[in-house]
Structure 1
Amino acid sequence: MGGLLFVLPPALGRAKAEARAELIRAALEQKLGESVETHVAANYADIEERTASGEAQLVWAPAGVTAKLPAARAVLTIVREGQTNYRSAIVARKNASLRLAALVGTKAAWVDPLSAGGYLLAIAKLRAEGIDPAKTFASQIFLGSHRAAVEAVLHETADVTAVSSHKMDAASMAEKLRWYAGPAGDKLTAIAFTESCLNDAIVLPASLSEAKAIALAQKLVPTTPSEIARSRLLSALEAEGLVQTPLEEYHRLAPLLTPPPAEDRITLTPPSRSSRPSWH
Protein backbone atom coordinates (compact mmCIF):
# COMPACT_ATOMS: atom_id res chain seq x y z
CA MET A 1 0.00 0.00 0.00
CA GLY A 2 1.38 3.41 -0.95
CA GLY A 3 0.70 6.68 0.77
CA LEU A 4 -0.99 7.14 4.12
CA LEU A 5 -3.73 5.05 5.70
CA PHE A 6 -6.45 6.98 7.59
CA VAL A 7 -8.71 4.86 9.82
CA LEU A 8 -12.06 6.16 11.04
CA PRO A 9 -14.73 4.73 13.38
CA PRO A 10 -17.94 3.02 12.24
CA ALA A 11 -20.14 4.81 14.79
CA LEU A 12 -21.75 7.03 12.14
CA GLY A 13 -23.29 3.96 10.51
CA ARG A 14 -21.58 2.14 7.63
CA ALA A 15 -22.88 4.09 4.62
CA LYS A 16 -22.43 7.53 6.18
CA ALA A 17 -18.98 6.62 7.50
CA GLU A 18 -17.89 5.49 4.04
CA ALA A 19 -19.22 8.71 2.48
CA ARG A 20 -17.38 10.69 5.17
CA ALA A 21 -14.24 8.67 4.44
CA GLU A 22 -14.25 9.80 0.82
CA LEU A 23 -14.58 13.45 1.85
CA ILE A 24 -11.71 13.03 4.29
CA ARG A 25 -9.54 11.30 1.68
CA ALA A 26 -9.99 14.15 -0.79
CA ALA A 27 -9.39 16.79 1.89
CA LEU A 28 -6.24 15.10 3.18
CA GLU A 29 -4.74 14.54 -0.25
CA GLN A 30 -5.22 18.22 -1.03
CA LYS A 31 -3.84 19.32 2.34
CA LEU A 32 -0.92 16.90 2.65
CA GLY A 33 0.12 16.58 -0.96
CA GLU A 34 0.35 12.78 -0.91
CA SER A 35 -1.93 9.85 -1.58
CA VAL A 36 -4.30 8.74 1.19
CA GLU A 37 -6.31 5.56 1.62
CA THR A 38 -9.23 5.52 4.07
CA HIS A 39 -10.61 2.58 5.99
CA VAL A 40 -13.84 2.43 8.00
CA ALA A 41 -13.00 0.21 10.97
CA ALA A 42 -15.11 -2.85 11.65
CA ASN A 43 -15.36 -1.83 15.31
CA TYR A 44 -13.43 0.16 17.93
CA ALA A 45 -11.09 -2.75 18.64
CA ASP A 46 -10.12 -2.68 14.97
CA ILE A 47 -9.10 0.99 15.36
CA GLU A 48 -7.01 0.10 18.40
CA GLU A 49 -5.27 -2.77 16.62
CA ARG A 50 -4.45 -0.81 13.46
CA THR A 51 -3.08 2.05 15.55
CA ALA A 52 -0.93 -0.18 17.76
CA SER A 53 0.41 -2.20 14.83
CA GLY A 54 1.59 0.88 12.94
CA GLU A 55 -0.57 -0.06 9.95
CA ALA A 56 -2.37 3.31 10.10
CA GLN A 57 -0.58 6.63 9.94
CA LEU A 58 -3.62 8.78 10.76
CA VAL A 59 -6.43 7.65 13.06
CA TRP A 60 -9.76 9.21 13.96
CA ALA A 61 -9.84 7.74 17.45
CA PRO A 62 -12.72 7.82 19.95
CA ALA A 63 -11.78 8.93 23.46
CA GLY A 64 -12.03 5.38 24.81
CA VAL A 65 -9.49 4.15 22.27
CA THR A 66 -7.19 7.17 22.70
CA ALA A 67 -7.14 6.72 26.49
CA LYS A 68 -5.79 3.17 26.06
CA LEU A 69 -2.89 4.10 23.76
CA PRO A 70 0.46 3.69 25.56
CA ALA A 71 2.07 6.30 23.29
CA ALA A 72 1.40 8.60 20.35
CA ARG A 73 3.38 11.16 18.39
CA ALA A 74 0.52 13.67 18.56
CA VAL A 75 -3.12 13.82 19.64
CA LEU A 76 -5.27 16.48 17.95
CA THR A 77 -8.52 16.83 19.89
CA ILE A 78 -11.49 17.71 17.70
CA VAL A 79 -13.37 20.90 18.64
CA ARG A 80 -17.16 20.82 18.29
CA GLU A 81 -19.72 23.41 19.39
CA GLY A 82 -16.77 25.42 20.70
CA GLN A 83 -15.77 22.67 23.13
CA THR A 84 -13.10 19.99 23.44
CA ASN A 85 -15.21 18.04 25.96
CA TYR A 86 -18.58 16.35 25.89
CA ARG A 87 -20.84 14.24 28.06
CA SER A 88 -22.93 11.18 27.42
CA ALA A 89 -26.69 11.34 27.84
CA ILE A 90 -28.57 8.22 28.90
CA VAL A 91 -31.66 8.29 26.72
CA ALA A 92 -35.08 6.63 26.82
CA ARG A 93 -38.50 7.02 25.20
CA LYS A 94 -40.54 9.85 26.68
CA ASN A 95 -43.65 7.70 27.00
CA ALA A 96 -41.76 5.13 29.09
CA SER A 97 -41.22 7.63 31.93
CA LEU A 98 -38.04 5.86 33.01
CA ARG A 99 -35.69 6.99 35.78
CA LEU A 100 -32.23 5.75 36.73
CA ALA A 101 -33.70 4.30 39.93
CA ALA A 102 -36.27 2.29 37.95
CA LEU A 103 -34.27 0.45 35.30
CA VAL A 104 -34.52 -3.06 36.70
CA GLY A 105 -35.65 -5.46 33.98
CA THR A 106 -35.18 -2.99 31.13
CA LYS A 107 -33.08 -3.59 28.00
CA ALA A 108 -30.06 -1.53 26.95
CA ALA A 109 -28.65 -0.93 23.46
CA TRP A 110 -25.07 0.35 23.35
CA VAL A 111 -22.71 1.36 20.55
CA ASP A 112 -19.46 -0.55 21.19
CA PRO A 113 -17.59 -1.93 24.22
CA LEU A 114 -14.92 0.77 23.69
CA SER A 115 -17.30 3.66 22.90
CA ALA A 116 -17.03 6.39 25.53
CA GLY A 117 -20.18 8.30 24.57
CA GLY A 118 -22.16 5.23 23.57
CA TYR A 119 -21.30 2.95 26.50
CA LEU A 120 -18.41 3.52 28.90
CA LEU A 121 -19.45 6.89 30.34
CA ALA A 122 -23.00 5.63 30.84
CA ILE A 123 -21.79 2.52 32.64
CA ALA A 124 -19.56 4.64 34.88
CA LYS A 125 -22.54 6.88 35.70
CA LEU A 126 -24.75 3.92 36.60
CA ARG A 127 -22.09 2.46 38.87
CA ALA A 128 -21.55 5.83 40.54
CA GLU A 129 -25.28 5.83 41.32
CA GLY A 130 -25.01 2.38 42.90
CA ILE A 131 -26.60 0.62 39.90
CA ASP A 132 -25.01 -2.64 38.75
CA PRO A 133 -25.74 -2.90 34.99
CA ALA A 134 -25.25 -6.68 34.91
CA LYS A 135 -27.89 -7.16 37.62
CA THR A 136 -30.19 -4.35 36.45
CA PHE A 137 -30.67 -4.87 32.72
CA ALA A 138 -32.53 -7.88 31.36
CA SER A 139 -30.27 -7.66 28.31
CA GLN A 140 -27.51 -5.52 26.83
CA ILE A 141 -26.50 -5.42 23.17
CA PHE A 142 -23.82 -3.66 21.11
CA LEU A 143 -25.05 -2.44 17.74
CA GLY A 144 -21.98 -0.71 16.30
CA SER A 145 -23.37 2.78 15.68
CA HIS A 146 -25.19 5.53 17.55
CA ARG A 147 -27.96 5.50 14.97
CA ALA A 148 -28.57 1.76 15.36
CA ALA A 149 -28.67 2.05 19.15
CA VAL A 150 -31.10 4.98 19.02
CA GLU A 151 -33.33 3.12 16.55
CA ALA A 152 -33.45 0.13 18.88
CA VAL A 153 -34.96 2.37 21.57
CA LEU A 154 -37.37 4.01 19.13
CA HIS A 155 -38.51 0.59 17.87
CA GLU A 156 -38.88 -0.65 21.47
CA THR A 157 -36.40 -3.50 21.08
CA ALA A 158 -34.43 -1.68 23.79
CA ASP A 159 -35.41 0.77 26.52
CA VAL A 160 -32.26 2.87 27.00
CA THR A 161 -29.14 3.87 25.12
CA ALA A 162 -26.45 6.53 25.40
CA VAL A 163 -25.47 9.29 22.99
CA SER A 164 -22.82 12.00 23.03
CA SER A 165 -23.87 15.58 23.76
CA HIS A 166 -21.90 18.78 24.31
CA LYS A 167 -24.68 20.59 26.18
CA MET A 168 -27.21 19.54 28.81
CA ASP A 169 -30.00 22.12 28.48
CA ALA A 170 -33.35 20.87 27.19
CA ALA A 171 -33.31 22.78 23.89
CA SER A 172 -29.79 21.63 22.98
CA MET A 173 -30.57 18.05 23.95
CA ALA A 174 -33.75 18.04 21.85
CA GLU A 175 -31.75 19.33 18.87
CA LYS A 176 -29.09 16.68 19.41
CA LEU A 177 -31.64 13.87 19.55
CA ARG A 178 -33.16 15.10 16.28
CA TRP A 179 -29.65 15.10 14.83
CA TYR A 180 -29.25 11.46 15.82
CA ALA A 181 -32.75 10.29 14.91
CA GLY A 182 -34.42 12.86 12.67
CA PRO A 183 -37.96 13.94 13.64
CA ALA A 184 -38.35 10.74 15.67
CA GLY A 185 -35.85 12.21 18.11
CA ASP A 186 -38.73 14.17 19.62
CA LYS A 187 -39.96 10.86 21.09
CA LEU A 188 -36.79 10.55 23.18
CA THR A 189 -35.55 12.24 26.33
CA ALA A 190 -32.37 12.28 28.39
CA ILE A 191 -32.85 10.73 31.84
CA ALA A 192 -29.29 11.39 33.05
CA PHE A 193 -25.97 12.95 32.04
CA THR A 194 -22.52 11.57 32.74
CA GLU A 195 -19.20 13.08 33.72
CA SER A 196 -17.31 15.13 31.14
CA CYS A 197 -14.89 13.51 28.70
CA LEU A 198 -12.44 14.77 26.06
CA ASN A 199 -13.71 14.65 22.48
CA ASP A 200 -12.50 12.17 19.92
CA ALA A 201 -9.17 12.99 18.29
CA ILE A 202 -7.01 12.66 15.22
CA VAL A 203 -4.09 10.57 16.44
CA LEU A 204 -0.65 10.39 14.86
CA PRO A 205 0.56 7.00 16.09
CA ALA A 206 3.87 6.34 17.83
CA SER A 207 4.98 4.26 14.82
CA LEU A 208 5.48 7.46 12.79
CA SER A 209 8.89 9.08 12.78
CA GLU A 210 9.11 12.26 14.81
CA ALA A 211 9.89 14.29 11.71
CA LYS A 212 6.93 12.86 9.79
CA ALA A 213 4.55 13.44 12.71
CA ILE A 214 5.66 17.07 13.08
CA ALA A 215 5.21 17.67 9.35
CA LEU A 216 1.73 16.11 9.33
CA ALA A 217 0.58 17.99 12.44
CA GLN A 218 1.74 21.31 11.02
CA LYS A 219 -0.27 20.70 7.86
CA LEU A 220 -3.35 19.33 9.62
CA VAL A 221 -3.96 22.05 12.22
CA PRO A 222 -5.35 25.30 10.77
CA THR A 223 -4.07 28.31 12.69
CA THR A 224 -5.91 31.32 11.26
CA PRO A 225 -9.64 32.08 10.97
CA SER A 226 -9.41 31.99 7.17
CA GLU A 227 -7.67 28.58 7.23
CA ILE A 228 -10.34 27.23 9.57
CA ALA A 229 -13.12 28.57 7.37
CA ARG A 230 -11.60 27.00 4.25
CA SER A 231 -10.61 23.66 5.80
CA ARG A 232 -12.19 20.79 3.91
CA LEU A 233 -10.94 18.40 6.58
CA LEU A 234 -12.77 20.23 9.38
CA SER A 235 -15.89 20.28 7.23
CA ALA A 236 -15.64 16.52 6.69
CA LEU A 237 -15.18 16.00 10.44
CA GLU A 238 -18.11 18.35 11.20
CA ALA A 239 -15.63 20.17 13.43
CA GLU A 240 -14.51 23.70 14.21
CA GLY A 241 -10.86 23.07 14.95
CA LEU A 242 -8.10 20.75 16.10
CA VAL A 243 -6.25 21.33 19.36
CA GLN A 244 -3.03 19.48 20.23
CA THR A 245 -3.54 17.69 23.56
CA PRO A 246 -1.04 15.70 25.65
CA LEU A 247 -1.90 12.00 25.56
CA GLU A 248 -1.66 12.04 29.36
CA GLU A 249 -4.89 14.06 29.50
CA TYR A 250 -6.70 11.13 27.87
CA HIS A 251 -4.93 8.71 30.20
CA ARG A 252 -6.43 10.61 33.15
CA LEU A 253 -9.87 9.58 31.85
CA ALA A 254 -9.05 5.90 32.32
CA PRO A 255 -11.16 5.47 35.50
CA LEU A 256 -14.21 6.67 33.55
CA LEU A 257 -13.40 4.67 30.43
CA THR A 258 -12.44 1.26 31.77
CA PRO A 259 -14.70 -1.44 30.32
CA PRO A 260 -16.39 -3.74 32.85
CA PRO A 261 -15.18 -7.35 32.96
CA ALA A 262 -16.55 -9.42 30.09
CA GLU A 263 -18.51 -11.59 32.51
CA ASP A 264 -20.40 -8.51 33.70
CA ARG A 265 -21.75 -7.83 30.23
CA ILE A 266 -24.81 -9.57 28.83
CA THR A 267 -24.18 -9.18 25.12
CA LEU A 268 -25.92 -10.38 22.00
CA THR A 269 -24.47 -10.74 18.52
CA PRO A 270 -24.68 -7.41 16.69
CA PRO A 271 -26.36 -7.30 13.27
CA SER A 272 -24.31 -7.78 10.14
CA ARG A 273 -22.80 -4.70 8.52
CA SER A 274 -25.30 -4.81 5.67
CA SER A 275 -28.24 -4.62 8.08
CA ARG A 276 -26.94 -1.74 10.14
CA PRO A 277 -28.74 1.57 9.68
CA SER A 278 -26.78 3.98 7.54
CA TRP A 279 -27.73 7.29 9.12
CA HIS A 280 -25.69 8.71 12.04
Structure 2
Amino acid sequence: MKSILVLWRTAAGAALQWRLLLWWVLALALPTLLVVLPLWRALSGLLNHALASSALALNFDPAMLVEALAGLEKQRFSAVDLGLAGLLLTLLLSPWLTGLLVTSARANRPLGMGDLFLGGWREYGRLGRMLLWSVVPLGIAAGLGGVLLDAAGEHGASATLEADGELVQHLALGFTALLVLVAQASLDAGRAVLALNPHARSAVVAWWRGWRLLLGQRGRGLWVYLLISLPALAGLGLLALLRVHTAPVGVLGVSAAVLLGLALVVLTAWMRGARLFALIEAGRERGR
Protein backbone atom coordinates (compact mmCIF):
# COMPACT_ATOMS: atom_id res chain seq x y z
CA MET A 1 0.00 0.00 0.00
CA LYS A 2 1.34 3.42 -0.97
CA SER A 3 2.15 5.93 1.74
CA ILE A 4 0.29 9.24 1.84
CA LEU A 5 3.29 11.10 0.41
CA VAL A 6 3.70 8.61 -2.44
CA LEU A 7 -0.02 8.84 -3.16
CA TRP A 8 0.26 12.64 -3.17
CA ARG A 9 3.21 12.58 -5.56
CA THR A 10 1.50 10.14 -7.92
CA ALA A 11 -1.72 12.16 -8.03
CA ALA A 12 0.11 15.48 -8.38
CA GLY A 13 2.04 14.17 -11.38
CA ALA A 14 -1.02 12.58 -12.99
CA ALA A 15 -2.91 15.88 -12.83
CA LEU A 16 -0.19 17.68 -14.81
CA GLN A 17 -1.56 16.69 -18.23
CA TRP A 18 -1.44 19.61 -20.62
CA ARG A 19 -4.48 18.51 -22.64
CA LEU A 20 -6.54 18.23 -19.47
CA LEU A 21 -5.45 21.65 -18.25
CA LEU A 22 -5.99 23.16 -21.71
CA TRP A 23 -9.61 21.95 -21.81
CA TRP A 24 -10.21 23.63 -18.45
CA VAL A 25 -8.72 26.90 -19.69
CA LEU A 26 -10.77 26.83 -22.91
CA ALA A 27 -14.01 25.88 -21.18
CA LEU A 28 -13.77 28.47 -18.41
CA ALA A 29 -12.93 31.12 -21.00
CA LEU A 30 -16.56 30.88 -22.18
CA PRO A 31 -18.26 32.25 -19.02
CA THR A 32 -15.44 34.79 -18.69
CA LEU A 33 -16.06 36.09 -22.21
CA LEU A 34 -19.82 36.01 -21.61
CA VAL A 35 -19.32 38.51 -18.78
CA VAL A 36 -16.34 40.52 -19.98
CA LEU A 37 -17.24 41.27 -23.62
CA PRO A 38 -20.68 42.88 -23.05
CA LEU A 39 -19.35 44.72 -20.00
CA TRP A 40 -16.33 45.96 -21.96
CA ARG A 41 -18.54 47.22 -24.81
CA ALA A 42 -20.89 48.96 -22.39
CA LEU A 43 -18.05 50.62 -20.48
CA SER A 44 -16.38 51.65 -23.73
CA GLY A 45 -19.55 53.39 -24.86
CA LEU A 46 -19.78 55.18 -21.53
CA LEU A 47 -16.13 56.11 -20.95
CA ASN A 48 -14.55 56.54 -24.39
CA HIS A 49 -15.89 60.08 -24.69
CA ALA A 50 -15.63 61.00 -21.02
CA LEU A 51 -13.41 63.92 -20.01
CA ALA A 52 -11.32 61.67 -17.77
CA SER A 53 -10.89 58.87 -20.33
CA SER A 54 -7.23 59.71 -21.00
CA ALA A 55 -6.38 59.75 -17.31
CA LEU A 56 -8.23 56.47 -16.77
CA ALA A 57 -6.31 54.83 -19.61
CA LEU A 58 -3.02 55.79 -17.99
CA ASN A 59 -3.92 55.15 -14.36
CA PHE A 60 -6.61 52.67 -13.30
CA ASP A 61 -9.04 54.22 -10.82
CA PRO A 62 -11.33 51.75 -8.97
CA ALA A 63 -13.56 54.58 -7.73
CA MET A 64 -14.22 55.72 -11.29
CA LEU A 65 -14.99 52.13 -12.32
CA VAL A 66 -17.57 51.82 -9.53
CA GLU A 67 -19.11 55.11 -10.64
CA ALA A 68 -19.21 53.88 -14.24
CA LEU A 69 -20.94 50.64 -13.19
CA ALA A 70 -23.52 52.70 -11.31
CA GLY A 71 -24.06 54.68 -14.50
CA LEU A 72 -24.66 51.46 -16.41
CA GLU A 73 -27.35 50.47 -13.90
CA LYS A 74 -29.19 53.70 -14.74
CA GLN A 75 -29.11 52.65 -18.40
CA ARG A 76 -30.73 49.32 -17.46
CA PHE A 77 -27.50 47.40 -17.97
CA SER A 78 -27.16 45.02 -15.04
CA ALA A 79 -23.63 43.84 -14.31
CA VAL A 80 -25.11 41.63 -11.57
CA ASP A 81 -27.36 39.79 -14.04
CA LEU A 82 -24.38 39.38 -16.35
CA GLY A 83 -22.33 37.90 -13.51
CA LEU A 84 -25.15 35.51 -12.62
CA ALA A 85 -25.32 34.36 -16.24
CA GLY A 86 -21.59 33.67 -16.18
CA LEU A 87 -21.95 31.76 -12.91
CA LEU A 88 -24.81 29.68 -14.34
CA LEU A 89 -22.76 28.77 -17.41
CA THR A 90 -19.85 27.79 -15.15
CA LEU A 91 -22.14 25.51 -13.14
CA LEU A 92 -23.48 23.92 -16.32
CA LEU A 93 -19.93 23.24 -17.49
CA SER A 94 -18.83 21.92 -14.10
CA PRO A 95 -20.02 18.27 -14.51
CA TRP A 96 -18.30 18.07 -17.90
CA LEU A 97 -15.07 19.51 -16.51
CA THR A 98 -15.15 16.95 -13.70
CA GLY A 99 -15.97 14.29 -16.29
CA LEU A 100 -12.70 15.12 -18.04
CA LEU A 101 -10.87 14.30 -14.81
CA VAL A 102 -12.83 11.08 -14.28
CA THR A 103 -12.19 9.97 -17.86
CA SER A 104 -8.47 10.64 -17.55
CA ALA A 105 -8.17 8.91 -14.17
CA ARG A 106 -10.07 5.84 -15.36
CA ALA A 107 -7.87 5.51 -18.46
CA ASN A 108 -4.76 5.66 -16.28
CA ARG A 109 -2.83 7.12 -19.24
CA PRO A 110 -2.74 10.44 -21.15
CA LEU A 111 -5.69 10.77 -23.54
CA GLY A 112 -6.14 12.90 -26.65
CA MET A 113 -8.27 16.04 -26.75
CA GLY A 114 -11.13 14.24 -28.53
CA ASP A 115 -11.20 11.30 -26.12
CA LEU A 116 -11.28 13.66 -23.15
CA PHE A 117 -14.04 15.75 -24.73
CA LEU A 118 -16.31 12.78 -25.40
CA GLY A 119 -15.52 11.09 -22.10
CA GLY A 120 -16.47 14.20 -20.20
CA TRP A 121 -19.91 14.26 -21.83
CA ARG A 122 -20.46 10.56 -21.13
CA GLU A 123 -20.03 11.29 -17.42
CA TYR A 124 -22.19 14.42 -17.47
CA GLY A 125 -25.41 12.85 -16.18
CA ARG A 126 -23.95 11.12 -13.14
CA LEU A 127 -21.72 14.03 -12.19
CA GLY A 128 -24.56 16.46 -12.80
CA ARG A 129 -26.61 14.59 -10.21
CA MET A 130 -23.66 14.80 -7.81
CA LEU A 131 -23.55 18.57 -8.41
CA LEU A 132 -27.23 18.83 -7.49
CA TRP A 133 -26.70 16.71 -4.37
CA SER A 134 -23.76 18.92 -3.35
CA VAL A 135 -26.26 21.53 -2.19
CA VAL A 136 -27.09 19.30 0.80
CA PRO A 137 -23.65 18.65 2.39
CA LEU A 138 -22.33 22.09 1.50
CA GLY A 139 -25.51 23.69 2.82
CA ILE A 140 -25.21 21.77 6.10
CA ALA A 141 -21.55 22.80 6.45
CA ALA A 142 -22.37 26.43 5.71
CA GLY A 143 -25.31 26.35 8.13
CA LEU A 144 -23.20 24.94 10.96
CA GLY A 145 -20.53 27.52 10.16
CA GLY A 146 -23.12 30.28 10.33
CA VAL A 147 -24.19 29.10 13.79
CA LEU A 148 -20.55 29.12 14.92
CA LEU A 149 -19.96 32.61 13.52
CA ASP A 150 -23.11 33.94 15.21
CA ALA A 151 -22.01 32.44 18.52
CA ALA A 152 -18.53 33.92 18.04
CA GLY A 153 -20.07 37.31 17.34
CA GLU A 154 -22.13 37.17 20.53
CA HIS A 155 -19.06 36.13 22.49
CA GLY A 156 -17.08 39.00 20.98
CA ALA A 157 -19.75 41.50 21.94
CA SER A 158 -19.61 40.40 25.58
CA ALA A 159 -15.85 39.76 25.78
CA THR A 160 -13.85 41.91 28.17
CA LEU A 161 -10.84 42.13 25.85
CA GLU A 162 -11.24 42.89 22.15
CA ALA A 163 -8.40 40.49 21.33
CA ASP A 164 -10.30 37.59 22.93
CA GLY A 165 -13.35 38.30 20.80
CA GLU A 166 -11.27 38.50 17.62
CA LEU A 167 -9.53 35.22 18.45
CA VAL A 168 -12.85 33.41 18.86
CA GLN A 169 -14.15 34.88 15.60
CA HIS A 170 -11.02 33.79 13.74
CA LEU A 171 -11.32 30.29 15.19
CA ALA A 172 -14.98 30.11 14.16
CA LEU A 173 -14.11 31.30 10.65
CA GLY A 174 -11.31 28.74 10.35
CA PHE A 175 -13.54 25.92 11.60
CA THR A 176 -16.25 26.97 9.12
CA ALA A 177 -13.73 26.81 6.27
CA LEU A 178 -12.66 23.35 7.48
CA LEU A 179 -16.28 22.15 7.55
CA VAL A 180 -16.83 23.33 3.98
CA LEU A 181 -13.58 21.68 2.86
CA VAL A 182 -14.54 18.35 4.47
CA ALA A 183 -17.98 18.55 2.83
CA GLN A 184 -16.28 19.16 -0.51
CA ALA A 185 -13.95 16.23 0.19
CA SER A 186 -16.96 13.95 0.74
CA LEU A 187 -18.39 15.03 -2.62
CA ASP A 188 -15.09 14.39 -4.41
CA ALA A 189 -14.91 11.00 -2.70
CA GLY A 190 -18.38 10.30 -4.08
CA ARG A 191 -17.14 11.27 -7.54
CA ALA A 192 -14.22 8.88 -7.08
CA VAL A 193 -16.68 6.10 -6.25
CA LEU A 194 -18.60 6.89 -9.45
CA ALA A 195 -15.34 6.79 -11.41
CA LEU A 196 -14.47 3.39 -9.94
CA ASN A 197 -17.96 2.02 -10.61
CA PRO A 198 -18.97 2.94 -14.20
CA HIS A 199 -22.42 1.39 -13.79
CA ALA A 200 -23.29 3.23 -10.56
CA ARG A 201 -26.08 5.77 -10.99
CA SER A 202 -27.09 7.08 -7.56
CA ALA A 203 -25.17 10.18 -6.48
CA VAL A 204 -26.43 9.83 -2.89
CA VAL A 205 -25.24 6.22 -2.56
CA ALA A 206 -21.88 7.11 -4.10
CA TRP A 207 -21.52 10.05 -1.69
CA TRP A 208 -22.29 7.79 1.28
CA ARG A 209 -19.75 5.21 0.14
CA GLY A 210 -17.29 8.04 -0.37
CA TRP A 211 -17.21 8.66 3.38
CA ARG A 212 -15.74 5.19 3.86
CA LEU A 213 -13.14 5.99 1.22
CA LEU A 214 -12.26 9.22 3.05
CA LEU A 215 -12.21 7.95 6.62
CA GLY A 216 -11.06 4.35 6.14
CA GLN A 217 -7.52 3.30 6.99
CA ARG A 218 -7.19 6.02 9.66
CA GLY A 219 -8.49 8.75 7.40
CA ARG A 220 -5.91 8.15 4.69
CA GLY A 221 -8.09 9.57 1.93
CA LEU A 222 -8.90 12.70 3.92
CA TRP A 223 -5.27 13.30 4.85
CA VAL A 224 -4.04 13.17 1.27
CA TYR A 225 -6.98 15.36 0.22
CA LEU A 226 -5.95 18.01 2.75
CA LEU A 227 -2.29 17.65 1.80
CA ILE A 228 -3.20 18.58 -1.77
CA SER A 229 -5.85 21.18 -0.96
CA LEU A 230 -4.20 23.39 1.65
CA PRO A 231 -1.05 24.38 -0.32
CA ALA A 232 -3.10 24.77 -3.51
CA LEU A 233 -5.68 26.98 -1.79
CA ALA A 234 -2.88 29.10 -0.33
CA GLY A 235 -1.45 29.47 -3.84
CA LEU A 236 -4.87 30.41 -5.23
CA GLY A 237 -5.28 33.02 -2.51
CA LEU A 238 -1.88 34.53 -3.33
CA LEU A 239 -2.62 34.59 -7.07
CA ALA A 240 -6.03 36.16 -6.46
CA LEU A 241 -4.45 38.84 -4.27
CA LEU A 242 -1.88 39.61 -6.97
CA ARG A 243 -4.64 39.74 -9.60
CA VAL A 244 -6.71 42.20 -7.55
CA HIS A 245 -3.70 44.48 -7.17
CA THR A 246 -2.76 44.27 -10.86
CA ALA A 247 -4.36 47.10 -12.83
CA PRO A 248 -5.11 46.04 -16.44
CA VAL A 249 -3.63 49.24 -17.86
CA GLY A 250 -1.07 49.25 -20.64
CA VAL A 251 0.50 46.28 -22.39
CA LEU A 252 2.34 45.04 -19.30
CA GLY A 253 -0.68 45.47 -17.02
CA VAL A 254 -3.06 43.66 -19.37
CA SER A 255 -0.54 40.87 -19.99
CA ALA A 256 0.08 40.39 -16.27
CA ALA A 257 -3.67 40.35 -15.54
CA VAL A 258 -4.28 37.73 -18.25
CA LEU A 259 -1.39 35.54 -17.11
CA LEU A 260 -2.54 35.69 -13.49
CA GLY A 261 -6.06 34.74 -14.57
CA LEU A 262 -4.71 31.78 -16.53
CA ALA A 263 -2.57 30.73 -13.57
CA LEU A 264 -5.67 30.74 -11.35
CA VAL A 265 -7.54 28.45 -13.77
CA VAL A 266 -4.59 26.09 -14.23
CA LEU A 267 -3.93 25.78 -10.50
CA THR A 268 -7.65 25.18 -9.85
CA ALA A 269 -7.74 22.47 -12.52
CA TRP A 270 -4.59 20.85 -11.14
CA MET A 271 -5.95 20.88 -7.58
CA ARG A 272 -9.29 19.38 -8.62
CA GLY A 273 -7.55 16.73 -10.71
CA ALA A 274 -4.92 15.81 -8.13
CA ARG A 275 -7.53 15.43 -5.38
CA LEU A 276 -9.74 13.21 -7.51
CA PHE A 277 -6.83 11.12 -8.81
CA ALA A 278 -5.59 10.57 -5.25
CA LEU A 279 -9.02 9.41 -4.05
CA ILE A 280 -9.48 7.13 -7.05
CA GLU A 281 -6.06 5.56 -6.46
CA ALA A 282 -6.89 5.11 -2.76
CA GLY A 283 -10.15 3.44 -3.77
CA ARG A 284 -8.36 1.08 -6.14
CA GLU A 285 -6.06 0.00 -3.33
CA ARG A 286 -9.10 -0.72 -1.17
CA GLY A 287 -10.48 -2.96 -3.91
CA ARG A 288 -13.47 -0.78 -4.76
TM-score, normalisation: structure 2? 0.22
Higher relative contact order (CA 8 A, sep 6+): 1
Work out which of the two has the higher radius of gyration on C-alpha atoms and give 1 or 2: 2
Q: Give the structure with the higher percent strand.
A: 1
Q: Give the structure with the higher percent helix.
A: 2
